[in-house]
Structure 1
Amino acid sequence: MTSIRVDVVLPCLNEAQALPWILQRMPAGYRAIVVDNGSTDGSADIARALGAEVVHETRRGFGAAAHAGLLAATAPIVAFCDADASMDPRDLPLVVDPVAQDDADLVLGRRRPTTRNAWPPHARLANTYLSWRLRRITGVNIHDLGPMRAARRDHLLALDLHDRRSGYPLEMFLGAAAADWRIREVDTGYAPRVGRSKVTGTVRGTLTAIHDMSALLRVSSAVRNEIDDSPRRNDSDASGNAARASRIGDRS
């Protein structure tokens, strides 16, 4: 396990039931940043009482909460994890260590259900289709756009992410792929969440996520075609990669 400082961003909307379990299982040396996104069940007070850093984000949306946490982070490496107890914080070193050891720039947790009912069929089907499209668009061998992930804070800020809804994790991946980051997947556990899901646990939430992500995919495909059709140039330097990544966010 790495000794480098790590901040863990936990977007939170009414997760009072799950937070104690989540925060008590945070690895040593990992600071939890709970981003309260308008909870009405005392989530922020519970998180604060358990020693977490609490940030309030009034603008509703997963991306708004996730980005507020990224801005509040001060550690060199930032990890993201759902706050609903569907993922075990003890798996966080699996996504953090390759980044800390400079073996990868972005590590995604590939969810492996621990029980049959952990992953609703409609959500799993949507994720399978999305992953297939991402492999075709980016050439990255990805199988799950998992919410548990880690990267260096300065690299994430350089992506200049714009989405503040369900498309934030996708925009991060697309920006990283466009910037030629080293992207890896590692297996992580996935259990039934505690409480009611706001996104993939409901058909309506899944459809909303699909809508948000489809817009980003269209933009990514357009940018890729533009790059393929343009004259050959050296895009391997940092400024060239950053420009390619920012085009996705600028058009979303």
Structure 2
Amino acid sequence: MIGQIVERQSPLYLIFSCDVAKVIAGIDDFVCDSVGKVASALPSMSRSDHSLVWNGLQFSLCLAELPELAVNAQPILCSSMPTANSNVFSLNFADHVTGGNRLPEIAQAFLKFAALLVKQLGPDRVIWTPGNLLVDPGYFAEAVNDYAEGGAFPVLATIQLIWSPEKDGLHTEGLEWFSGQEVHCDVVKGSEQIWLRRIVRLVHDIATNGPLTTDETVADLDGHQQVLLTLKDEARVVHARIGSEMDISSTGSF
């Protein structure tokens, strides 16, 4: 399963066309320019590997190879993968913070620190592996900063939204990193944009409030229908179906 693969690798990769020495100099400048807000945790064993502390959290920033899945990454507001001569750095939590991404506050802190790095270092592309997305760096940083200031969760920069071949279903890829859950939504009549808005809304609620812990019924976008959310696969999947209030109240399901 893709979730098992993602858990063994860093969530974020920064891709550079410049040489490694320039990237490392940029990391040094990033620490110096932060005026104490970012610190090196320990002397690095290698100039290309860094342990950085920000807001009490420790991160690992290391020279790396692209994950195999990146070959098929979905481009978001950018062209395809840069050349094979690119240099790549991975960003992850330090080992003792592993699993903290399932807490909304810690996950948001990771995204905020990633956006700071992206803005400072200026990579050509970023890869967000939980959703297998190849993202324009400027868009990634802007979407994360908007979220940090109280805006919407950066769904398009972190979560891949995938239609079934028959267009009768829509599901997420990458929400699991934030919550341990993915959303699967049954699709009936209506415009694709409305259905995308529905699933984006569900993603925002789960990513910012934490995983769903029990079956729930919530209001739909149009106000005349409701969304029945049912936990499946040992709570790893949130199954969403849309129906009228009468349908739900009379049967408890569809």
- TM-score norm. by structure 1 comes to 0.30
Q: Which has the larger radius of gyration?
A: 2
Bigger fraction of residues in strand: 2
Compute the TM-score of the two structures, normalised by the length of structure 2: 0.30
Q: Considering fraction of residues, name the structure with more helix.
A: 1
Q: Which has the higher contact order (CA 8 A, sep 6+)?
A: 1
